[in-house]
Amino acid sequence: MVHLLQEAGLESQFECDSAGTTGHHVGSPPDRRMQASAQAAGITLRGRSRKFVVADFERFDRILAMDRDNYEDMLALDPAGRYAHKVKMICDYCTEHTDKEVPDPYYGGDAGFRYVIALLKDACSGLLETLRVESSR
Express each pLDDT in 97-130 by its tens digit: 999 999 999 887 899 999 999 999 999 999 999 9
Is 52 exposed, middle or buried, given 0-12, 13-18 or 19+ CB atoms closer than 10 A?
buried
Cβ neighbours of residue 73 under 8 Å, at least 6 residues apart? 21, 22, 52
pLDDT of residue 22: 86
What is the signed CA dihedral for 96, 36, 3, 50, rounded to 10 degrees? Answer: 100
Quick one: pLDDT at residue 6?
94
Task: Give pLDDT, residue 106.
Answer: 86
Closest CA to 88 of 109, 102, 107: 102
Helices of type H across the chain: 2-7, 32-40, 55-59, 68-76, 110-135
State how far the Cα of 39 lies from the Cα of 109, in Å rounded to an integer: 16
pLDDT at residue 18, rounded to an integer: 93
CA distance 133 to 128: 9
Q: Say yes or no to pLDDT of 42 above 90.
A: yes
CB 100 within 8 Å of CB 130: no
| Confidence tier at 87 by pLDDT (50, 70, 90) | very high
Per-residue pLDDT averaged across 79-97, rounded?
Answer: 98
With a pLDDT cut of 70, the percent of the chain lying above it is: 100
Question: pLDDT tens digits, residue range 45-57?
Answer: 988 889 999 999 9
Query: Half-sphere exposure of residue 72, counting CA atoms within 13 Å on the CB side?
Result: 4
